[in-house]
Amino acid sequence: MVGIPSRHKSLVLLAGVIVLQVLLLAVQIKRDSQGRLLRVWTVGAVSPFQRAGVYGVGHLRDTWHHYFALQNTSRDNEQLRRENDTLKMQITQLQSKAAEADRLAMLLNFHKSHENVPMIGARVIGASAGTASQTIDLDRGERDGIRRNMGVITPDGVVGKVVEAYQNTSQVLLLTDKDSGVGAMLADSRIQSPVGGTGEPLLVMKYVANDDTVNAGERVVTSGMDRIFPRDLPVGTVAEIKPGNPFKMIRVRPAANLERLEEVIVLLTLRPLELKKAPEPVNPQSSATQSPAANAAGQAAVAKP
């Protein structure tokens, strides 16, 4: 047998190894096999290390991020806090503007639905300085056509009446003032009685006889008897009813939010008005039910301030 020279041994080995691997490739192609066994062994040997590596890297990363890489956290926190404050302020401003837009839209709708009634929108610019009276100041006055005793309302209901008109501003006595009053009636039973303020948030309906039936939650609307407000404007709802002598003590929750007024409508007329209103089912009994005492009190309320 002819021996291979030692300097060619590595070359022969190279050729042999390459041929073997080419055969391995050929076998894989021919049998469409992927040498699964060798792969399984190799992957099986390596995967525990990979798993350990992933576990270790995960812990290292957590440790780094949560303990060591915090040098910018304080700065980021401060910046985020500032951004948060700014955004909160912007949200508050936007909410305020949205609420104002809603209110103005309501005023506009009210104005459109009562185009025959001369009215003007006004912004509340101040309130009474003490607790002795319940008044608000408006940014419109005589120059805009506002005069004393004109009615002031919101789309929700009656607010009060103008007690003083200046050149550019005016003062309104709210319904809740103890000297205030409005000719009113119960919407369902049509029982008439003035509603006045007591200096507290709730109003009082004073002259309803004990025999008359009044239900809590019943709507109270203007009667038009005071010649300031047109009929059927919302005044409030009955909140409490107590028997009294000789009249019931009825407390009324104002329909308009008198504690948070920002825009109001001033009715620019001193003549009795009729507002358009949606047709309501007429209660034949109620229209006739009007106590004589209430009639007298209604007139009294008109003359009161």
Q: Which of 41, 72, 301 is nearest to 178 (CA)?
A: 301
Please state, in angstroms and rounded to a whole number, the distance separating the CA atoms of residues 240 and 235: 15
Please state, in angstroms and rounded to a whole number, the distance separating the CA atoms of residues 292 and 297: 9
Between 42 and 257, CB nearer to other proteins: 42
- Of 42, 92, 168, 287, the one binding other proteins (CB under 8 A) is 42
The dihedral over CA atoms of 46, 49, 54, 59, expressed in degrees to the nearest 10, equals 180
Between 58 and 244, CB nearer to other proteins: 58
Q: How many residues does the chain have?
A: 305
DSSP-derived 3-state class of residue 277: coil
Between 18 and 216, CB nearer to other proteins: 18
34 binds other proteins (CB under 8 A): yes
Between 30 and 242, CB nearer to other proteins: 30
- Of 1, 3, 10, 303, the one binding other proteins (CB under 8 A) is 10
Q: Which amino acid is at 252?
A: V
| End-to-end Cα, the chain, rounded Å | 139
Q: Which stretch binds other proteins (CB under 8 A): 21-29, 113-121, 243-251, 266-274?
A: 21-29
Of all helices (H) and strands (E), which one includes residue 252? strand 249-254
Q: For the CB of residue 72, give the shortest distance to other proteins in the complex, in Å.
A: 21
28 binds other proteins (CB under 8 A): yes
Contacts to other proteins by CB under 8 A: 9-11, 13-14, 17-18, 21-22, 24-26, 28-29, 34-35, 38-39, 41-43, 46, 49-50, 53-54, 57
